[in-house]
Structure 1
Amino acid sequence: MVNLKTFFVCLHLLVLIQWVKAIENGTQSKGFLKQLDSSTWIFGNDIWNLTQGRQYATKLWYKEKDLVGKAVGHYVSYNGAQSDLNWTSAAIVDSGSDFVNIRFTAKEGDFHWVIYDGLAGAYQYFVNHALPTLGEFRTLWRLDNETFPNGRTSVRDGQLPPLSSYVASTKVQDETWETANGTFLTKYDWSNFVRDTDFYGVYGDEVGSWYIPGGKDYYNGNHLKQELMIHRESQTGDAVQLNMIHGTHYQASSSDTFGANKTWGPWLWYLNNGSKADAALRVQQEVRAWPYSWFKDASYQSRGSVRGRLVLSDGRPAAGATVFLGDNHPNTTALDQGRGYYYTTYADEIGAFRIDDVRTGSYGLQAWSNGGSIADVSTSLLRNDVVVSRSAVTNLQTLRWNVTSEDNTIFRVGAFDRKTTGFALSGPTPFEHGRIAKCPANLTFVVGRSETGHWCFGQEALGTWTIIFSTNSSSTSTSASASTSTSPSTSNFTTTRAAKLLISLAGFASGSSADILLNSHKIGNITSGSALLPSSQDTYRGATRAGEWHLLEFGVEGDLLRGGGEENRLDFRVTKSTLWRGWLWDAVKLEWV
């Protein structure tokens, strides 16, 4: 009796022989789809072909080799691995002289493979019909671990840890292992900022599999959206190439409901001989071609542009400002937006910006500081009802951005840019498990003497970080309460002016808490479980540059500050600590009100 595996191999070869004959006879294009039974299809072109089952696509033949091997293959799923899509039918829904568009249908929606003659790979996109409210939605490859020993993102390139390394190590948390020499293996080291991505994938000496997003408007989130890109599957050793088209890995939440026909993509899945230089050249080609003229979807092709100029209320141009075009009248943060389409850019040196190829519709435009000459700006700008029309430029003219006067600043540590820029240990790479534990438990920063790099990027250990400063205020008075203060430096002078403490956190992972004390008087806290601080699992997953941004404000009564040039002390005293869980610093600012 012929076993089932042998039967399907023979059937596969028969289909391919018939397809080759059809091409030779000029009766069929090089792209093809053949159905073997009610739940098995073969498709591809003259360079590669793939066997698709009800759930997984396996047997990826390229350069006379199966690139999947014993791995899982290709699939589409939402909310992690809980819900893999099951394909009920497949059909060629469009074709031309040099391409076929193959649609696989599931109850949740349609996944398309657009296959051109001579292309090693395919353009892919998904059209929603009935996806539930979700956080994670992804497509991915799980490929042969020997064929693909290496991985590459825009910030990391090298060998993926072999499966044997995990076996010899101790698991310490979610997908994280400690090796015998005290270093860590974690899949989260292979994350990246989504909108900074050029191309990413897995590769070896003979073959590479890459994802190339020509455009990025279908991704959720803003400039600081980070996602896991690739990793070694710790249970099987599969080389994993993720395509998180709606992700939540470094966010507090991003749960969205999508309208009918909401489309993700197209992006290019690209095969080559493992050359990163070739993939980089292909990126240039895809970026020039986006939005793709071949994608015959009316809403996709209906696009316009937005331009304007940002000027601060104190007269300065908002040079280098971050500009985000997202949900109109938003009820979530820019990072957490995900039901629509999103566009990002930065203003130039005079505050001018332009965003081209925006899908028509109504948007909310936001802007905030990206450091530089406007590093002191803690406020942000929101302009709703930005209407983008087909083939038109929406000119917003000059947008006035209200800011507080720099004259009111008592001190500032760090630049307002929603990142840990300039702080110790924030680089060189933006991901490393456990790096936050290298920051000191106790730290003293003296305003006017200490450099920005003296402040560490994150805090989680039991101890106290202190900022020493003076107000140099002329508004002082004798105060009995000040003379009895328990602060190490006492004075008979306190200010009569109220102030405001701004704490900008670039990220927060619950598990550690701190009291905030001014001259030994508690004025606030950074607390797990606070409604203002939902956990975003950023420090927990090795983020060192950014996570979910939070701006906290605390009022300071005038009699708490010492004037007359006397020393003041601001303490961040950690009262509860959980290893690798804490907060990322963006900036600390004290200002008069």
Structure 2
Amino acid sequence: MNIVEMTARPVFWVSCICWVVLLMVMTLVAGEGVGVQLHYRGQHYVIMDNGLVQVTLSVPEGMVTGVKYNGIDNLLETENTEINRGYYDLYWNTPGGSGILDKMKGTNFKVIVQNETQVEVSFTRTWKSSQQGHVVPLNIDKRFVMLQGSHGFYTYSILEHLQGWPDFNINQTRIVFKLNKQMFRYMAISDTRQRRMPLPDDRSTGRAQALAYPEAVLLTDPVEPEFKGQVDDKYQYSCTNEEIKVHGWVSTGSGPSLGFWQITPSFEFRSGGPLKQELTSHVGPTSLSVFFSAHYMGQNEVPMFRNGEQWKKVFGPLFIYLNSGPAGTHGRELWEDANNQMRKEVQSWPYSFPASHDFTKREQRGSARGRLLIRDRYINKEDIPAGFAYVGLALPGEVGSWQTEDKGYQFWNRADFNGSFSIDNVRSGIYDLYAWAPGYVGDYKCNEVITITPGSDIDLGAIVFEPLRDGPTLWEIGIPDRSAAEFFVPAPGPRYVNPLYLNQDRFRQYGLWERYSVLYPDNDLVYSINSSDYRRDWFFAHVPRRIGLHSYQPTTWQIRFNLNNVGQRGSYKLRLALASSALAELQVRFNDLNAEIPHFTTRLIGADNAIARHGAHGKYWLFNVDVQSIWLVEGANTIFLTQKRSVGPLQGVLYDYIRFEGPPTFA
């Protein structure tokens, strides 16, 4: 029975919900009187047990080898080796060296807290100079916590690089759970992004065709015919930091339905701010929490430690939440329950129970508040509220540096419709206040450094953001929201379909870069101001044209517009906001396509791969081009935008917004 049929039968729907609630209450009652216990199984395993959930950890490595819940002995994939079921890992390299995968195995085990209400255990590894070049130069502490009456367990990690230790880069660190592949087939990462998933076996040679990169395959002979002809690619299930609050899997089959969820109550420990994208869940069944990576940003934007820099950071805690319902319970019902639990976890943040002094509790934190106003005299003579602006605290840096900041903590919130904001539960430290507002170009940074101390509540009052502006808007293309999603996104090629994205987030389909060559086989895109519509006439990705089996050529788009009274009144301004760039070079010429030297070039920029990874945005770029009057003519004008780099199909840019401003009219 599908969700539409359920909706049409309210009695059935209410009955199912009642069953879920009843079973969860009965399970909670059965376990609420049981204290948390720590069992030892020989010398190599320890089990956290609260009567509801049992978690088995290897000693001293600290790998999660088993999760028992609701009568099922192990929700993890037992066909995998024990170090490939539930684990932290880290990908690192020495400067100029090749990447090394480290499963972050502990070498020492210690019980931190053990009583009826809580157990916390620690798995540590201390770096030694004799390991230089072979082992990541970090002290590692992995913590696992179980509370009485809890349907799950918490985990967090602490990484430390001491002063004077060797230089290195961290390319990625995360926690991974590989679930039972026969049991968990229904995946949910948002209210609308939910579906039954293929098996990992369907990706194997003989059952799938490799596509442009290893993560993407075309399912040609899946175990279950319903998936034949679909594309599977883990990047299709990426989410932004602000969206990654709960995601996971629901079991299918004849027995009770079980849910395995990762809940992230705060993204303060992730890098790149609220719009940075990371992986979540995908075929495996795999459940991930990526703390930082080069994904949608580029390899140059990962933590790089030089000159013996000292550093320590806490990642988490995350909550691994388990729920259940009677046989036949739809995945959406367990998803709703997981969402409710997520809201409880968010309200409880920062947690009071972690035993590590490195995780600061609520009383050790402070807050900042104020009201952000926009000052743009070409829109309004008065300052206006920066409604729904993003406002955050991050390490001190240049304007917009929060986007590439990757070593400290960041704290973000959205202003209300009136521009008022409050950033709560901020760790003590020194920060800059950053902001940007949808609908306006550029970034804001407060001139004053913000110092947060325990219990502080800093009232910044009214602060004014003056978005970049030299003159009146003569014309514009798109919406300044750091995304290309509003532009024309074509239907996927008939061979490359993921049915989940036929009616939502269409930019997440595989291979859309190929559609440009189909739609524009001979001539490039031409956009006419006042007659074209960016929603249907501006292709969302400026990519090369395919001209042979493996050959590509640069493409040049045109913007045509009329000008009156050009004269010599002063310079004009072209604002080019890019939502992404992947090894691209955007050249700009005015009224002369054949000019040997472009009037402006970005030069080679970007490596975020957002086009390949089905993202409507990656790293944000803003270019402000001074346009001399002598480049323009009275009447019809044309701007030529050439994406010069064309070694491969995935080079290109995603536009966010383009604005052409006239000469200033205010003194």
TM range (shorter): 0.7 to 0.9
Alpha-carbon distance, 1:469 to partner: 1.2
Query: Match for 2:155: what amino acid?
Result: Q
Aligned match of 1:446 in 515, 524, 528?
528
* Cα offset, 1:217, TM superposition: 1.1
What is aligned with 1:161? 198
3-state SS in 2 of match to 1:114: strand
Residue among 553, 558, 561 paired with 1:466: 558
- Tell me, in whole angstroms, the C-alpha distance in 2 between the residues paired with 1:571 and 1:537: 24
Match in the other structure for 1:361: 429
SS at match of 1:270: strand
Structure 2 residue runs of 5 or longer lacking an equivalent are 1-30, 93-99, 127-138, 163-167, 221-227, 325-330, 378-382, 491-502, 546-554
Change (3 A) 1:293 1:320: same
Deviation at 1:404, TM superposition (A): 4.6
Q: Deviations over 1:325-347 (max 9, x none)?
A: 11113598322212111111222
Residues 190 and 230 of structure 1 are in contact (CA less than 8 Å); yes or no, is this contact kept in structure 2? yes
Measure, in 1, the Cα distance between the counterparts of 2:661 and 2:63. Answer: 58
SS of corresponding position for 2:601 = strand
Match of 1:283 among 325, 342, 360: 342
Q: Are residue 120 (structure 1) and residue 119 (structure 2) matched? A: no
Cα pair 1:139 1:244 within 8 Å, conserved: yes
Change in 2 beyond 3 A, CA 1:496/1:259: same
Instruction: Give how far 1:549 is off.
Output: 0.8
1:581 counterpart letter in structure 2? Q
Give the SS at the match of 2:449. Answer: strand
Measure the CA separation in 2 of the matches of 1:573 and 1:178.
Answer: 32
Aligned to 1:428: 504
**Partner SS, residue 141 of structure 1:** strand
- Residue 112 of structure 2: aligned partner: 93
SS state at 1:433 partner: coil
The aligned residue for residue 65 of structure 1 is: 73
Higher deviation after alignment, 290-299 or 244-253: 290-299
Distance 1:396 1:551 in 2: 28
Could you tell me which of 79, 86, 91 is aligned with 1:79? 91
Provide the rounded CA distance (Å) in 2 between the counterparts of 1:277 and 1:350.
31
Letter in 2 for 1:452: Y
Q: What one-letter code is carried by the residue in structure 2 that aligns with 1:272?
A: N
Report the counterpart of residue 472 of structure 2 in structure 1. Answer: 408
CA spacing shift, 1:497–1:260, aligned 2, 3 Å: closer
The alpha-carbon deviation at position 77 of structure 1 amounts to: 0.9
The answer for the alignment partner of 1:344 in structure 2 is: 412
Q: What is the identity, as a one-letter code, of the residue corresponding to 1:525? A: T
- Distance, in Å, in 1 between the alignment partners of 2:323 and 2:170 is 34
Q: Does 1:174 align with 2:214?
A: yes
TM-score, normalisation: structure 1: 0.83
Q: 1:331 to 1:465 in 2, by over 3 A?
A: closer
278, 299, 305: which one aligns with 2:360: 299
Superposition pairs of residues 211-360 of structure 1, within 5 angstroms: 211-232=262-283, 238-252=284-298, 253-257=301-305, 261-273=312-324, 275-296=334-355, 297=357, 299-301=360-362, 302-313=364-375, 314=377, 315-330=383-398, 333-360=401-428
Q: Residues 214, 414 of structure 1: CA spacing in aligned structure 2 closer, same or farther, 3 A cutoff?
A: same
Equivalent residue number for residue 6 of structure 1: none
What residue in structure 1 maps to residue 238 of structure 2?
191
Q: Distance in 2 between matches of 1:448 and 1:410?
A: 11
Whether contact under 8 Å (2:37, 2:116) holds in the other structure is no
- Which letter does structure 2 place at the counterpart of 1:156? R
Give the Cα separation in 2 of the matches to 1:332 and 1:323: 12
Deviation at residue 29 of structure 1 after TM alignment? 3.8
Deviations 1:176-210 (A, max 9, x none): 11345875321111111121223101221332211
User: What are the Cα deviations for residues 256-315 of structure 1, in whole angstroms up to 9, with x where unaligned?
Assistant: 558555211112111122621221111121112112223354733311111122223332
Q: Deviations over 1:56-111 (max 9, x none)?
A: 33233222332222132111111177011112222221134311111122233211
Q: CA deviation at 1:444?
A: 2.0
Work out whether residues 496 and 559 of structure 1, in 8 Å CA contact, stay in contact via their aligned partners in 2.
Answer: no
For 1:404 and 1:339, the matched residues in 2 are separated by 29
Percent identity of the aligned residues? 23
Give the 3-state SS of the residue equivalent to 2:232 in structure 1: strand
What amino acid sits opposite 2:202 in the alignment? Answer: S
1:51 aligns with 2:60: no
Q: How far is 1:130 from its partner?
A: 4.0
CA contact (8 A) 1:90 1:105 kept: yes
Partner of 1:499: 572
Q: Contact 1:504 / 1:585 at 8 angstroms: preserved in 2?
A: yes
The verdict on how the C-alpha distance between 1:281 and 1:299 changes in structure 2, with shifts beyond 3 A counting, is closer
- Pick the aligned partner of 1:141 from 168, 171, 177: 177
1:15 maps to none
Q: Let me know the Cα RMSD of the aligned residues.
A: 2.7
Per-residue CA deviations over 1:519-565 (Å, capped at 9, x if unaligned) read 114322355xx2xx23111112111x2101111233322211113xx
What letter matches 1:48 in structure 2?
Answer: V
2:611 maps to 539
Assess if the C-alpha contact under 8 Å between 2:566 and 2:629 holds in 1. Answer: no
1:516 counterpart residue number: 588
The 3 A distance-change label for structure 1 pair 246 and 129 is same
Q: Structure 1: how far apart are the matches of 2:366 and 2:389? A: 22
Gaps of 5+ in 1: 1-23, 233-237, 477-494
- Secondary structure of the residue that 2:351 maps to in structure 1? coil
Within 1, Cα distance between the matches of 2:282 and 2:407? 27
2:36 aligned to 7, 11, 30, which one?
Answer: 30
**Structure 1 SS opposite 2:184:** coil
> 1:33 Cα shift?
4.2
- One-letter amino acid matched to 1:123: Y
Of 39-48 and 348-357, deviating more is 39-48
Of 85-94 and 72-81, more deviation after overlay is shown by 72-81
Give the conservation status (yes or no) of the 8 Å contact 1:434–1:580: no
The reply on whether 1:569 has 2:617 as its aligned counterpart is no
CA 1:330–1:140: 2 relative to 1, 3 Å: farther
Matched with 2:655 is 585
CA contact (8 A) 2:397 2:432 kept: yes
Rounded to whole Å, the distance in 1 between the matches of 2:563 and 2:39 is: 74
In terms of mean alpha carbon deviation, does 160-169 or 67-76 score higher? 160-169
Asked if structure 1 preserves the Cα contact closer than 8 Å seen for 2:360 and 2:427, the reply is yes
Distance 1:380 1:437, change over 3 A: farther
Supply the distance in 2 between the matched residues of 1:334 and 1:458 (Cα, whole angstroms).
25
Q: Offset at 1:575?
A: 4.1
Aligned length: 531
Partner of 2:224: none
Contact 1:320–1:347 at 8 Å: present in 2 too?
A: yes
Q: Is the 8 A contact 1:31 1:117 kept in 2?
A: no
- Cα distance 1:464–1:203, how it changes in 2: closer, same or farther (>3 A)? same
Measured at CA, do residues 158 and 182 of structure 1 come closer, stay the same or move farther in structure 2, by a change above 3 Å? Answer: closer
- Structure 1 pair 129–381 and aligned structure 2 pair: CA distance change class (3 A): closer
In structure 2, the CA distance between the partners of 1:217 and 1:261, relative to structure 1 (3 Å rule), is: same
Partner secondary structure for residue 276 of structure 1: helix
Aligned partner of 2:40: which letter? K
CA distance in 2, matches of 1:526, 1:335: 19
How far off is 1:405 after superposition? Answer: 4.7
Give the Cα separation in 2 of the matches to 1:447 and 1:398: 38
Contact persistence 2:38–2:114 (CA under 8 A): no
Q: In structure 2, the residue corresponding to 1:267 is in which secondary structure?
A: strand
Three-state SS of the structure 2 residue aligned to 1:539 is coil
Instruction: Determine helix, strand or coil for the equivalent of 1:337.
Output: coil
Q: Distance in 2 between matches of 1:83 and 1:192?
A: 25
Whole-angstrom distance in 2 between the partners of 1:536 and 1:140: 23
Tell me how far apart the structure 2 counterparts of residues 291 and 496 of structure 1 sit (CA, whole Å): 57
Change (3 A) 1:406 1:319: farther
